[in-house]
Amino acid sequence: MSFGKDIIIAAQTELAKRKSRAENLQQQRRSEVLLKVPEIAAAERELAQTGLDVVKAIGMGADARSYLENLAKTNLALQEKIKLLLVSNGYPENYLETDYVCKKCEDTGYVEGTPCSCRRILLKELALKKLYSNSRAAQCTFESFNLDYYSDRPDERFGISAKEQMKNILEYCRCYADDFDCSSPSLYLFGQTGLGKTHLTLAIAGVVTASGYNVIYDSAQNIFNRLEREHFRSSRSDEYDGAEQELLDCDLLIIDDLGSEFTTQFTVAALYNVLNTRLNCDKPVIISTNLDAHALEEKYSPRITSRIMGGYTPLHFLGNDIRQKLNN
């Protein structure tokens, strides 16, 4: 799983903060204790000496073993003495230990070169926080998707009521999110405005992000703005922000409201490149749009439309704009 550059930087910053917070606190406590209990300072000096004395074992031959055993005993006894001194002076016995948030990796994020579980948890938390900085995301869950707003009268054109169709789509999306992996299919969510497409894509984004996958969720307009900025600056490599690479690398790309943006030759080419590259690598994309196949072809190109029609699972949202009902 690959996380976006901003999430990785935020995680590294947070880990460094945790580490320095713990180590500063340990130093403060140590200065305080050594000043108040000089016997601890003496015991610490002796302890340090046992560490230095280890080298004397070299060249002792057969005697080295019992010498080292004695040294280890002295070392343990000194540690015990320090604990007792702490307790008898009113401190907890572990007062001088560095209080890392994660003892396994001492807040470095790595154990012997392998990412620590705390780092993975942190990345996930930061990704969720980023998703939920989109004010609607936290409210748009599968649980809050209300089927009561859809009519149960069968729609003659499709032979199914909007409610029945949306119930199936809700169930499909829920299973999709629960069972998501990097080779899940791409989805094409289409239908009129105000039928809950954004709600369900946000619900999928929430569940998949919480499972630890790197999800990029954004409106088509924002995605194209970033790509355009990057493209027209690429001559100045210091301003390259990796927008396109992130769109290609993430585990799940969700493009909300495709078709509402202002298209140019550039955006059409950029969209084709992203969709085509991801499809070739079997990386899922979810597109939500008001455009059906015909309208897609008019706005973009037959190439893009055929990629979507050929490679995506279509989910047709039915009903009348539920936002009016929500507001009443």
Structure tokens at 40: 């601890």
| Count of Cβ atoms closer than 10 Å to residue 166 Cβ | 26
**Is residue 17 close enough to count as binding Zn ion by CB under 5 A?**
no
Q: Which is nearer to Zn ion, 106 or 228 (CB)?
A: 106
Question: Which residue lies nearer to Zn ion by CB, 104 or 303?
Answer: 104
| Nearest distance from C-beta of residue 111 to Zn ion, angstroms | 7
Size of interface with Zn ion, in residues (CB under 5 A): 5
Distance in Å, CB of 129 to Zn ion, minimum: 19
> At 99, which amino acid appears?
D
Interacting residue with Zn ion among 105, 187, 258, 287 (CB under 5 A): 105
**Residues in contact with Zn ion, shown as a per-residue x/- string from 166 to 195 under the rule CB under 5 A:** ------------------------------
Chosen residue from 102, 131, 223, 275 binding Zn ion by CB under 5 A: 102
- Integer Cα distance of 30 and 39 in angstroms: 13
Class of residue 198 by CB neighbours under 10 A (exposed 0-12, middle 13-18, buried 19+): buried
DSSP code at position 184:
P
Residue nearer to Zn ion on the CB measure, 126 or 204: 126
**What is the DSSP track for 51-104?**
HHHGGGGTT-GGGHHHHHHHHHHHHHHHHHHHHHHHHHTT--TTTTS---S-TT
Cβ nearer to Zn ion, comparing 102 with 255: 102
User: Which is closer to Zn ion, CB of 111 or CB of 295?
Assistant: 111
Of 62-70, 97-105, 167-175, 274-282: span binding Zn ion (CB under 5 A): 97-105
234 close to 240: Cβ distance less than 8 angstroms = yes
- Amino acid present at 57: A
Nearer to Zn ion, 119 or 199 (CB): 119
* Rounded (5°) CA angle 21-23-24: 65
Task: Classify the C-alpha dihedral 58-61-62-63 as positive or negative.
Answer: negative
> What character string, x for contact with Zn ion (CB under 5 A) and - otherwise, covers 117-136?
-x------------------
Q: How far apart are CB 115 and Zn ion at their closest, in Å?
A: 9
Instruction: Provide CB contacts within 8 A for 56, sequence distance 6+.
Output: 67
Among 45, 56, 104, 229, binds Zn ion (CB under 5 A): 104
For Zn ion, the closer CB: 107 or 257: 107
Q: What is the helix (H) or strand (E) element at residue 189, kind and residue range?
A: strand 186-190
Could you list the residues that contact Zn ion (CB under 5 A)? 102, 104-105, 116, 118
